[in-house]
Amino acid sequence: MRAYRALFDKVLTKTDPERAHQQAFAAIRAAGPALSRTRTPGSPVHAMGLTFPNVIGLAAGFDKNAVGIDALGGLGFGHVEIGTVTGEGQPGNPAPRLFRLPADRAVINRMGFNNDGAEAVAARLASRLERRGTAGGGPILGINIGKTKLVPEDDQAAVEADYAKSARLLAPYADYLVVNVSSPNTPGLRSLQSVEKLQPLLEHVRSIADQVTKHRVPLLVKIAPDLADSDVVEVADLATAIGLDGIIATNTTIGREHLVSSPAEISAAGAGGLSGAPLKSRALDVLRLLRSRVSPEMTLVGVGGITTVEDARERLAAGADLLQGYTGFIYEGPLYARRIANGVAR
């Protein structure tokens, strides 16, 4: 880990972040056949009627287009959440749109749901399924779906139709499905977290998923850390009322409080969602609030600022059933998932 950190701090931080991501992901995919033969670390976790190989997963955003699922599983992730996938393919926001704040062990992104779209991703997943046949194995696959940017957020019917397209095409390949209404990088998206808009959207996605699958695919919602506590409670109560399978807490934050990076660095990065160590405290608070409100049967996925084994244990003690990392993986390197999974198991 020390060697990777030295490489990151002295070499990778001097490379454009998005280009570095692309190069690193290409290397992971190239190593995929060898990685897929490695033993999955940690202990199994039973949640949502599924058996996860271990507690730690890779959050959505790293593999947006389902091109490296099994290679990422080979790094030790017990589940891989692809996406966010939108109904229509879109290029996302103009570059540069990904920035590091090394002093804070944080990342700011305004990617804007750049992805190939639901049809292309579904075709890729169908090919993966055909290649794998009945062999099974590999990580649990989560599919995170979001709103196409051009769909107006104030047109509820259009929003529901857009999410429904993704659900119809992708639910047959998902071990679980996530409705993302909490990225700060699609204009108006976070307004869908209001229960008046969220309830019919989740119920519609649930209905579509049930129509296109032979068995019930668990459905979760991913929420923002910037919600007021009262709104978090409303989402928790809604999830309970409609029989949602789980909640992912949390997405990135638009806040910039308590950062140690220079004001010039923060200003240069500009708008976007902040992830990494600075998110830890609020993500932990939201998780605790959710767990105090929902039943033990509802699955809570803790994400945001999980860097160390101690962070992981704290999140589990606060009520998480499963964990996810993204920025921790970027800063800690390829042994991140194995270290977390084995550390928690011990």
Predicted pLDDT at 135 = 59
- 261 assigned to active site: no
What 3-state class would DSSP assign to 269? helix
Relative to beta strand 98-101, strand 106-109 is: antiparallel
- Binding site membership for substrate: which residues? 64, 109-113, 180, 185, 251-252
- Which residue do the tokens 């996860």 mark? 52
Quote the CA–CA distance of 128 and 123 in Å, as a whole number.
Answer: 9
- DSSP readout, 50-104? EEESSSEEEPTTSSTTSSSHHHHHHTT-SEEEEEEEESS-B--SPSP-EEEEGGG
Question: In terms of DSSP H, where are the helices of the chain?
Answer: 2-10, 17-30, 32-35, 69-74, 118-132, 156-170, 195-212, 229-242, 263-269, 280-293, 309-317, 327-332, 336-345
Quote the CA–CA distance of 203 and 206 in Å, as a whole number.
Answer: 5
Residue 262 carries which DSSP code? Answer: -
Beta bridge partners of 100: 107
**Beta carbons of 183 and 225 less than 8 angstroms apart:** no
Nearest C-alpha neighbor of 149 from the set 139, 159, 160, 141: 159
- Binding site membership: which residues? 60-64, 84, 109-113, 144, 180, 185, 222, 250-252, 276, 305, 326-327
Beta bridge partners of 47: 50
CATH for 2-345 is: 3.20.20.70
Quote the CA–CA distance of 323 and 156 in Å, as a whole number.
Answer: 32
Tens digits of per-residue pLDDT, 76-124?
999 999 999 999 999 999 999 999 999 999 999 999 999 999 999 999 9
Predicted pLDDT at 37 = 79
CB under 8 Å to 98, separation ≥6 — which residues? 17, 18, 21, 107, 108, 109, 110, 111
**Beta carbons of 84 and 144 less than 8 angstroms apart:** yes
Give the residues of the chain that fall short of pLDDT 50. none
**Beta carbons of 286 and 320 less than 8 angstroms apart:** no
Quote the CA–CA distance of 9 and 331 in Å, as a whole number.
Answer: 9
- Binding site membership for FMN: which residues? 60-64, 84, 144, 180, 222, 250, 276, 305, 326-327
Tens digits of per-residue pLDDT, 182-227?
999 998 999 999 999 999 999 999 999 999 999 999 999 999 999 9
Q: Which of 182, 183, 261, 275 is catalytic?
A: 183
Predicted pLDDT at 67 = 98
Predicted pLDDT at 133 = 73
Predicted pLDDT at 156 = 96
Predicted pLDDT at 39 = 87
Predicted pLDDT at 36 = 75
